[in-house]
Amino acid sequence: MAETTRTQPSNWNVPNVLTTLRIVMVPFFGWALLVDGGDSITWRCVASVLFVVAMITDKIDGDLARKHDLVTNFGKIADPIADKAITGMAFIGLSIVGDIWWWVTILVLAREWSVTLLRLSILKKVVIAAADLGKIKTTFQAIALGFLCLPLRDPDLPSGLQVPCEVLYYAAQVCLAVAVALTLWSGWEFYRDVWKQRASLRTS
């Protein structure tokens, strides 16, 4: 029986277009977040919408790629870069406007980018599947950043919205604290699994 070879899908597909769109969206999102030093109610709302759209397309392009067998080498590299770029911009922007402490941003980004770069560098040698803990972390992080992008503590908000927005702000900070804790824990699990797999490859 003749051996069948699997044809690599084209890089020109919907998941990769969505991934590229997220990367292009990053500077526009950052600009909207920082208009008037982060004091523009309208543009903060626009930034939040852009962030939510980016998170939704992140979910959609991954599901489409797996469902329709459209996983490409470009997608494997660009997708995590797009994800980390938009969340990194959110962390940095929110630190600039004073809604997230800088030490939190530095800690999270150091973990996220070191894991992403290591995952890409060992892609062909060691396969580390995305852990459930990492997915939960991503969910809490997306919820926290999406709400914190909103002008929840702006003194120019209508009086009837100030108390609910204040409550929502602190709820988002709780989600962020959970996300940071899960970020550190899932990062430790990732490095542990990489060490175990590399050790097993050396002894096999």
Residue pLDDT, tens place only, 141-196: 999 999 999 999 999 899 899 999 999 999 999 999 999 999 999 888 888 877 87
State the CATH number of the domain containing residue 49. 1.20.120
88 falls within a domain: yes
68 falls within a domain: yes
pTM for this predicted structure: 0.86
Overall domain count for the chain = 1
State the pLDDT confidence band at 204, using cuts at 50, 70 and 90. low
CA distance 59 to 88: 18
| Top-confidence residue, 197 or 28 | 28
The pLDDT, as a whole number, for residue 98 is: 94
135 falls within a domain: yes
3 falls within a domain: no
Q: Which residue range forms the structural domain that includes residue 171?
A: 14-203
